[in-house]
């Protein structure tokens, strides 16, 4: 009888992890902190047609492209996912994700809820994380603290967040990013990644 010892045959499948959730819950901060704490993850760089903010670097924070360039990428089917977010294009270059997974790296991407839903349809084996505040009130306070939001924009974001909440069943995990407890949220995401790698039936992502 051949030895069925799993340790000798257990294939380590790289994960495709989507950090999503309503605008204002802290997706950027969580992803930044994950980057600092785990060197083995591949962080997807999003392409966007919006103008860079002063501190943002092309090829690091985003790939900044023109509206026309973005349209061409869509035509050439070079994007895994794309969406219009508050009037600007954002999208995930496909080759980048495939290459990272092929090299055995776990891939992390930050997406709005609609984008996460698109990834679910393309890659049912993706790990979808819904990041959130613990209450709507907490989200409103954070958006107000930004001071960049007009009352109309704020109202729109809250309405959108409410709609996004109704789609939480499409996600695998819910993680709370509590005020002043960013590292705890990151701890949970790292635990999720570790646990997923120990599933007997591993998720095999095919794009």
- Strand partners for 110: 19
Mark whether 167 is an active-site residue: no
First to last CA, the chain: 37
Residue tagged active-site, from 37, 50, 53, 120: 53
User: With contact defined as beta carbons under 8 Å apart, do 138 and 177 qualify?
Assistant: no
Taken as a whole, the chain contains a residue count of 207
Site for its own copies in 2-21 (CB under 8 A): 3-8, 10
Of 43 and 130, nearer to its own copies (C-beta) is: 130
| CB-based contact 11:104 (threshold 8 Å) | no
CB-wise, 11 or 75, nearer to its own copies?
A: 11
Tally Cβ neighbours within 10 Å of residue 180.
6
Between CA 128 and CA 15, with CA 57 as vertex, the angle to 5 degrees is: 25
Q: Which one of residues 136, 156, 160, 182 is an interface residue with its own copies (CB under 8 A)?
A: 136
Q: Which stretch in 11-19, 46-54, 67-75, 195-203 sits in contact with its own copies by CB under 8 A?
A: 195-203
Site string for its own copies, 148-187 (x = CB under 8 A): --------------x--xx-xx-xxxxxx----------x
Catalytic, 110? Answer no
User: Hunting for tokens 């997807």 — which residue is that?
Assistant: 44
Q: What part of residues 48-107 is at the interface with its own copies (CB under 8 A)?
A: none
Given the residues 37, 142, 146, 178, select the one marked as catalytic. 146
| Contact residues: its own copies, CB under 8 A | 1, 3-8, 10, 130, 132-136, 162, 165-166, 168-169, 171-176, 187-188, 190-192, 194-196, 198-201
């Amino acid at each position: 009888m051949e030895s069925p010892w799993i340790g000798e045959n257990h294939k380590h499948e790289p994960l495709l992890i989507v950090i999503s959730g309503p605008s204002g819950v802290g997706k950027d901060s969580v992803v930044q902190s994950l980057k600092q704490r785990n060197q083995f993850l591949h962080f997807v760089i999003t392409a966007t047609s919006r103008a860079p903010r002063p501190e943002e670097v092309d090829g690091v924070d985003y790939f900044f492209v023109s509206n026309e360039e973005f349209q061409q990428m869509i035509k050439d089917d070079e994007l895994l996912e794309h969406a219009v977010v508050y009037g600007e294009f954002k999208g995930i270059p496909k080759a980048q994700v495939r290459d990272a997974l092929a090299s055995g790296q776990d891939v992390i991407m930050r997406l709005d809820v609609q984008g996460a839903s698109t990834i679910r349809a393309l890659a049912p084996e993706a790990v979808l994380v819904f990041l959130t505040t613990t209450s709507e009130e907490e989200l409103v306070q954070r958006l107000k603290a930004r001071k960049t939001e007009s009352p109309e924009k704020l109202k729109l974001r809250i309405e959108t967040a409410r709609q996004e909440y109704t789609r939480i069943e499409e996600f695998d995990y819910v993680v709370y990013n509590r005020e002043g407890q960013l590292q705890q949220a990151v701890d949970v995401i790292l635990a999720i990644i570790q646990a997923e790698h120990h599933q007997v039936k591993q998720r095999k992502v095919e794009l």
